[in-house]
Amino acid sequence: MEILLSLSIALLTGLLLSRLAKLAKLPAVTAYLVAGILVGPYCLGQLNVKGLGFVEGHIEDFAILSKLALGFIAFSIGNEFRLEQLKKIGKQATIIGILQAVVTTLIVDAALIAFHFIRPDVLPLEAAIILGAIASATAPAATLMVVKQYKAKGPVTDTLLPVVALDDAVGLILFAVSFGVAKAFGAGNVDPVSIIVNPLIEIFGSLLLGVLVGLLFAFCERFFHSRSKRLSVSVGFVMLTIGLSMFEHSFGSVHIAFSPLLSCMMLGTIFCNICDFSEELMDRVDRWTAPLFALFFVISGAELDLSIFTKGMIVLVGVIYIATRSIGKYTGALSSAKLAKCDDNIVKYLGITLLPQAGVALGMADIVQEEIAFLKVLASGMSVAEIVLNITLFAVLVYELFGPLLTKIALMKAGEIDPEGATSARHEHAKERGWFHHIKEKKN
């Protein structure tokens, strides 16, 4: 009962605030995040009544919903990798996806390592190196929601979605290498397996898992002809992929793990290129997942730790991180788009759309929490893991509240969003009904 009450209050609060956000011409994603803060541990949750908002320590009960939503978001992005489209922009998206992530990491690393030498008591070298890699990650969820809400279409949007997808793969590699280097600095030795082998296993293993489940998915869809059953099969296979990608096992220093994001992206890619009815089915999946995505962002908002603002030095490092990451994303996308000879609008506006950051970055910060050596409390009273997590949380709080709005503005400037905003389903239905009556009267 308490879980259902919490979810219903969260969803309804998010939807009501999205109406206010529309009046203020803000993306619905921003409204959902603000709703999460309102029903989270720092506002409604302060009453400590389970079922009435999210009580501190109670949010973890909804982790499975977040995993499910991220899986469907990745599946939707994978559906953008159609062969005919990749032939046009595949090379450009690959160049931009790799270079902008590497440039961002280098710029953030340079700034934070310089700050470390100024104030080593505040920011350890290991934390600076790890944060540089985390900076490369972009949030596919917020970006996709803005694109879908405003039905964005054009060269920037067509390039953006593949770049965001590639960004996660490149980010995983950069993080794995940086994390290995940071551990080597802390322990005094370098482990090539953790730096090179494990990230490659995760990336290629995830892609292979997506291919295998995607082929099975396409085969099974042939036996179902009704739209409702095909939708059910689609949901089942996305859930299957998420479940399989949560498998982990270690053989000595070799760690076998999968990325749910990469696996579900590949599942969507295989499906959209094999099934001739994939576009129609994806439209139905989008409608089914709409409340799930809304809940995901409300829960994400509830997870944001507002107490970070009371930690002065964390805020200072966080501001440096946000400023340098923003510069890295923008200049990295701009320079790589010029190198790839992209359209002028892509050169100007793509970097702004890559600013949102959330789930993937927090996932990387969680991995740092699992390293025992980084849990040791330093002279500052915090551990390397705590510093990394708090700065990442601060950045996510800022980026998730303002990133979707900046993405919307960039796409509007590029001329890929109707200035009037999202189309009302009620008005569309009224037009269709009016058109039907007009045809009927004409026939009579």
Looking at residue 112, its pLDDT comes to: 93
CA angle 410, 268, 334 (to 5 degrees): 30
Mean pLDDT by 10 residues, the chain (444 residues): 83 88 76 84 79 73 80 79 70 86 93 91 87 86 79 86 79 78 66 68 86 90 82 90 86 77 85 78 78 82 74 85 94 90 87 82 73 72 80 82 85 79 51 50 53
Q: d(Cα 105, Cα 99) in Å, to the nearest integer?
A: 10
φ/ψ (deg, to 5) at 256? -95, 120
What is the bridge-based pairing of β-strands 249-251 and 254-256? antiparallel
pLDDT in tens, 65-84: 878 887 887 788 777 677 77
pLDDT in tens, 157-169: 888 878 887 787 7
**pTM of the entire structure?**
0.70
Q: d(Cα 166, Cα 94) in Å, to the nearest integer?
A: 7
Q: Running DSSP on this structure, what letter comes out for residue 81?
A: -
Question: What's the gap between Cα 121 and its chain centre?
Answer: 32
Q: d(Cα 178, Cα 135) in Å, to the nearest integer?
A: 12
